[in-house]
């Protein structure tokens, strides 16, 4: 829907840059990676880099977003119900993504990464909520999506601090709280028509 096709050169060049950056990230820390390093490995001109990205931090954000989105396997959730199982799946994808990052060294950029994860989650949750509730109260949906994303990310932080349980068991214990908490406030304040109780859907 409303897809305006982008120039193939742009797709190709972005991919070259992203791949080069991810490869470099596995070799040295982010703070030691220069734009020249990336463009050399990507076989493009340095000026072209700035045609696509604001700066190297912009690249970091977009690269991480992309990798996370792939990890999140977005098409899978596109039409899934926002139930316990889906949330558990997403939580697993997030923890898996964070573990894949921990090997590379991004010390000092935890906040950026956290924000990216939350933003991505928020977009996904918003789309799912929108599909289930329509847009009669958009700001409420956005609020719910935001809170869910913070909740999931917070859960992943909690889990890393206290990893006695496996991620599966951990999220299964946490998810009822998340779902009913969000569900209650959402239904209570805005009297949404959908029934929050039946199968755990919001």
Partner DNA sequence: ACGGATCTGTCGGATATGCAACACATTCGA
Partner DNA sequence: TCGAATGTGTTGCATATCCGACAGATCCGT
The residue from 1, 6, 26, 43 that contacts a copy of itself (CB under 8 A) is: 43
Name which of a copy of itself, DNA, none residue 35 binds, using a CB cut-off of 5 to 8 Å depending on partner kind. Answer: DNA
| Residues 124 and 74: beta-carbon distance below 8 Å | yes
Question: Is residue 47 at the binding interface for a copy of itself, with CB under 8 A as the rule?
Answer: no
Question: Is residue 70 at the binding interface for a copy of itself, with CB under 8 A as the rule?
Answer: no
Instruction: Give the integer Cα–Cα distance in Å for 63 and 189.
Output: 38
Question: Is residue 12 at the binding interface for DNA, with CB under 7 A as the rule?
Answer: yes
Question: Is residue 67 at the binding interface for DNA, with CB under 7 A as the rule?
Answer: no
* Number of residues lying near a copy of itself (CB under 8 A): 7
Q: How far is CA 95 from the centre of its chain?
A: 11
Name which of DNA, a copy of itself, none residue 164 binds, using a CB cut-off of 5 to 8 Å depending on partner kind. Answer: none
Question: Is residue 15 at the binding interface for a copy of itself, with CB under 8 A as the rule?
Answer: yes
Q: What is the DSSP string of 21-82?
A: HHHHHTTS-GGG--HHHHHHHHTS-HHHHHHH-SSHHHHHHHHHHHHHHHHHTHHHHHT---
Instruction: Give the integer Cα–Cα distance in Å for 42 and 123.
Output: 30
Crossing angle of helices 84-103 and 110-133, in 10° steps, is: 160
Q: What is the DSSP string of 162-185?
A: -TTS-HHHHHHHHHHHHHHHHHHH
The residue from 40, 51, 70, 157 that contacts DNA (CB under 7 A) is: 51
DSSP 7: P
Question: Is residue 44 at the binding interface for a copy of itself, with CB under 8 A as the rule?
Answer: yes
Q: Which residue's CB is nearer to DNA, number 48 or number 112?
A: 48
Residue 114 has which token pair?
A: 């956290």
The residue from 18, 44, 94, 141 that contacts DNA (CB under 7 A) is: 44
Q: Choose the stretch contacting a copy of itself; rule: CB under 8 A; options: 40-48, 106-114, 120-128, 142-150.
A: 40-48
Q: Which residue's CB is nearer to DNA, number 12 or number 136?
A: 12
Binding positions for a copy of itself, rule: CB under 8 A: 8, 11-12, 15, 43-45
């Amino acid at each position: 829907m409303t897809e305006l096709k982008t120039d193939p050169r742009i797709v190709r060049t972005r991919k070259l840059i992203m791949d080069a950056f991810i490869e470099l990230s596995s070799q040295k820390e982010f703070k030691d990676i220069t734009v020249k390093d990336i463009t050399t490995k990507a076989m493009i001109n340095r000026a072209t880099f700035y045609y696509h990205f604001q700066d190297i931090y912009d690249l970091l954000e977009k690269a991480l977003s992309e990798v996370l989105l792939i990890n999140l396997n977005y098409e899978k959730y596109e039409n899934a119900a926002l139930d316990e199982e889906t949330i558990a799946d997403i939580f697993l994808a997030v923890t898996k993504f964070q573990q894949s990052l921990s090997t590379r060294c991004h010390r000092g950029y935890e906040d950026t990464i956290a924000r990216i994860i939350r933003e991505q989650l928020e977009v996904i949750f918003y789309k799912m909520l929108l599909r289930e509730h329509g847009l009669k109260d958009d700001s409420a949906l956005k609020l719910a999506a935001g809170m869910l994303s913070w909740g999931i990310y917070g859960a992943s932080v909690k889990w890393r601090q206290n990893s006695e349980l496996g991620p599966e068991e951990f999220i299964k214990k946490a998810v009822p709280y998340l779902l009913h908490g969000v569900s209650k406030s959402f239904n209570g304040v805005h009297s949404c028509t959908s029934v929050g109780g039946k199968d755990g859907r919001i």
